[in-house]
Amino acid sequence: MLCIDDLCEMADAYAPAEYLVREAAQQWERDEAMALRRAVFCIEQGIFARDDRDATDDCAQLLVAMSCNGGMPEQVVGTVRIHRSQGDQAAGEWWGSRLAVHPAFRSQGHLGVTLIRLAVSRAHALGCKAFFAQVQKQNVPLFGKLGWKVLEETSVHGRPHALMQADLAWYPPCHDPVSGFVTRAKVAA
């Protein structure tokens, strides 16, 4: 027999079974992505004072990772933006920036990896010839495992970063960013 205490314990252990990673398609997805970025870059990391938005947001495509309940997107738990290089409308140079995953979901479903994969694959489908990112120093090994190479050590907002470039051969073009990718949660052993 299942008692109410068992249900409460089950609720504490709940984790979504899958995540949908796609281009933000609805306003609530964009709003939650921006709130997540503020939480990560302003509150958690203290890089920005009040808001991390900048002029790049006006021309960037926003990608989101959402936890799903019953197959339906429920909460934005990760985000990244992609954009053409400023003044580079024809040369095919693209950038990824503001990669953020909610702290409670950083060990769930390879969300950062899947966001990176969709970011580069989507830009590749849009004519990207070279994809770059300024990667925080602690994340360089992860990007290296995903086919990225370090071009130079840099500093961004007073923090150590590496300018990195993706190997496009690792990332086939994604022509349907709204369908995106589905990733499953890690199963506890």
CB under 8 Å to 113, separation ≥6 — which residues? 142, 146
Is residue 20 scored above 80 in pLDDT?
Answer: yes
The more confident residue out of 4 and 46 is 46
Most confident of 41-55, 97-111, 123-137: 123-137
Topology classification of domain 17-184: Aminopeptidase (3.40.630)
Is residue 187 scored above 80 in pLDDT?
Answer: no
Q: E strand or H helix at 184, and its extent?
A: strand 181-184
Whole-angstrom Cα distance, residue 47 to residue 54? 13
pLDDT band with cut points at 50, 70 and 90 for residue 14? low
Mean pLDDT (whole number) for 79-91: 81
pLDDT band with cut points at 50, 70 and 90 for residue 70? confident
Q: Find, among 100, 38, 27, the residue nearest to 65 by Cα.
A: 100
Q: How many CB atoms sit inside 10 A of residue 115's CB?
A: 25
Is residue 10 scored above 90 in pLDDT?
Answer: no
The more confident residue out of 102 and 12 is 102
- Tokens at 136, concatenated: 């925080």
pTM of the model: 0.87
Pairing between strand 18-23 and 181-184?
A: antiparallel
Whole-angstrom Cα distance, residue 61 to residue 81? 6
What percent of the chain lies above the pLDDT cut of 70? 87
The more confident residue out of 89 and 176 is 176
Distances (CA, A) of 154 to 61, 112, 119, 160, 163: 25, 22, 22, 6, 6
Distances (CA, A) of 80 to 5, 24, 60, 114: 39, 10, 10, 10
pLDDT of the residue at 88: 56
Is residue 96 scored above 50 in pLDDT?
Answer: yes
The more confident residue out of 13 and 104 is 104
Q: Find, among 109, 111, 115, the residue nearest to 188 by Cα.
A: 109
Is residue 63 scored above 80 in pLDDT?
Answer: yes
Distances (CA, A) of 8 to 12, 47, 97: 7, 37, 39
